[in-house]
Amino acid sequence: MKTFVQGGVMALALTTGMQVGADEAANLVINGETEITVRTEAPEHLDNLSKIYSGWIFRSDETQALQMDDFDNPGMIFVDQGRDAWAVAEGSEGKACADCHNEPESLADARATYPKWNDEAEEVRTLAMQINGCRTEQMGAEAWKYDGSDMLNMEALLSSVGRGTPINVAIDGPAQSMWEQGRDLYYTRTGQLDLSCANCHEDNYGNYIRADHLSQGQINGFPVYRLKNAKLNGAHSRFKGCVRDTRAETYGVGSEEFIALELYVASRGNGLSVEGPSVRN
Amino acid sequence: MKRTMLTGAICILATMTIAGEVAPDDVVFSEYGEVEKSLSGLEGDPTTGKEIMVARGKGNCIACHQVTALEEFPFHGEVGPTLDGIAERRNAAELRGIVANAKMTYDGTIMPAFYKVSGFTRPGDAFTGNAADGPLSPLLTAQEIEDVVAYLQTLSE
């Protein structure tokens, strides 16, 4: 229903069935200083793509522009909220993130390397899991809700200080089996529409599907501020929406399947820059 | 066990009430993916077919196909080929086969099967994200497939 209304409004604005073009040749420099790699050679493990692209280049000129200056980027408010939380002592140890990590900038490399194998916990951890690990194990505080606003604010902060860093997720060693699980999920066709991630984001990126300009479904921009719901969105919530749209039973946010899928999808973006909080429609 | 057998029986009764209709699991495809006979046993209505082609909750065919005759309905995708002039390239049996289950014509195609209810991985309850509760309904009914086929047959250059 909602999509119908939106479609109607857009139809009035345009009066023709033509799509709003995107400038796929544009380059992204944030605040006139931080250069973002939005297109580069595909990582070696990817057989079916020669080049990888950030979702930013498939967005309209107006949406692209919102990400070029932090004063225009609606996601930056949440970075500020994350920065406030960074200094707040919580839990039985009475500690704040700042007590152990000083400035958030000291974790500038974190976003680019997660999901990552954690030796002590013997598991692949997403950035959200690591943050909750610090909260429960180091601070004696309660875990934040996966993809909830406290967590997304903190992830937005850690992404923002890492912008421009090339994504470099390890896919070998102890993470390999989970990476393979994620790859299998990526190519599995699900639901009554019988579609895999690859059908849309590998075989058809650059094409329009109804009014949507398909990207490669990269996650270097997460957490993402979406104009559609006017808030930050986590990668698992995005995965969930895409799986639901195949008329399938989805996996849960924070589930093992989505952790594996996140690891695999992140590795498809190895070489693109961290650019969160990014802006999408 | 008893319960499932019972609901199964009720379902069979329910589908059997529509006389002359071919159930999704019983559709016979030729070697090239054609379906010769009407799935509903009746003629299709091109006017209804047109509505189904553009409705998001129904065929939503223009999500992937450009059709000049449907230009008043935005937006047209570009995942599949244009359907302009399709009536001259494909006959009714071919079109029926493609709309019912395009994978029988094009191996591995992205185009969804509109008259198929089994063989899916993790089928959901429509677009809720929850598991399907009970047997699936096809995306389009037998008559709706016929209506779409009738509309496609009006698309000559």
- Give me the interface pTM, i.e. the ipTM: 0.89
Match 């094409």 to its residue by tokens: A207
Contact (CB, 8 A) for A97 and A130: no
Contact (CB, 8 A) for B116 and B47: no
Dihedral sign for Cα A247, A252, A257, A258, please.
positive
Which of A193, A203, A208 has its CB closest to that of B112?
Answer: A193
- A90: buried, middle or exposed (CB in 10 Å: 19+, 13-18, 0-12)? middle
Q: What's the whole-number mean pLDDT along residues B109-130? A: 97
Chain A residues within 8 Å of chain B (Cβ atoms): 3-4, 7, 10-11, 14, 16-17, 19, 188-195, 199-200, 203-204, 207-211, 240, 243-250
Q: Would the CB atoms of B72 and A250 count as touching at under 8 Å? A: no
Q: What are phi and psi of B127, to 5 degrees?
A: -100, 30
At position B104, the amino acid (one-letter code) is M
Q: Is residue B4's pLDDT more than 50?
A: no
B86 has a chain A CB within 8 A of its CB: no
Going by C-alpha positions, the residue among A24, A49, A47, A23 that lies closest to residue A203 is A49
Q: Would the CB atoms of A243 and B56 count as touching at under 8 Å? A: no
Residue from B51, B66, B121 to probe the interface with A (highest A Cβ count within 10 Å): B121
Residue A21: its pLDDT value, please?
A: 64
d(CA B131, CA B123): 6
> Parallel, antiparallel, or unpaired: how do β-strands A224-226 and A278-280 relate?
parallel
Dihedral sign for Cα B50, B51, B54, B56, please.
negative
- What average pLDDT does chain A have? 93
SS3 A12: helix
In angstroms, what separates the C-alpha of A162 from chain B's closest C-alpha? 33
d(CA A56, CA A52): 12
Residue from A192, A197, A253 to probe the interface with B (highest B Cβ count within 10 Å): A192
Chain pair A-B, CB pairs under 8 angstroms = 96
Residue A209: its pLDDT value, please?
A: 97
Q: pLDDT digit string (tens) for A5-15?
A: 333 333 333 33
Q: Is residue A274's pLDDT more than 50?
A: yes
Q: Which residues of B touch A199 (CB under 8 A)?
A: 110
Q: pLDDT digit string (tens) for A38-66?
A: 999 999 999 999 999 999 999 999 999 99
Q: Is residue A205's pLDDT more than 90?
A: yes
Q: Which residues of B touch A258 (CB under 8 A)?
A: none
pTM comes to: 0.93
CA neighbours within 13 Å on the CB side: how many for B45?
Answer: 6
Q: Is residue B13's pLDDT more than 80?
A: no
Q: Is A197 a known active-site residue?
A: no
d(CA A94, CA B103): 61
Contact (CB, 8 A) for A141 and A94: no
Q: Which residues of A touch B136 (CB under 8 A)?
A: 192
Q: pLDDT digit string (tens) for A141-183?
A: 999 999 999 999 999 999 999 999 999 999 999 999 999 999 9
Residues 6+ positions from B6 with CB-CB distance below 8 Å: none
Q: Is residue A69's pLDDT more than 70?
A: yes
B58 has a chain A CB within 8 A of its CB: no
Q: Would the CB atoms of B74 and A209 count as touching at under 8 Å? A: no
Task: Nearest chain B residue to A6 by CA: give it.
Answer: B74
Contact (CB, 8 A) for A241 and A14: no
Task: State the Cα angle at B154 between B149 and B157, rounded to 5°.
Answer: 130
Q: pLDDT digit string (tens) for B36-49?
A: 999 999 999 999 99
Length of chain B: 157
Residues 6+ positions from A219 with CB-CB distance below 8 Å: A235, A238, A262, A265, A266, A269
Q: Is residue B2's pLDDT more than 60?
A: no
At position B23, the amino acid (one-letter code) is A
Percent of chain A surpassing pLDDT 90: 91
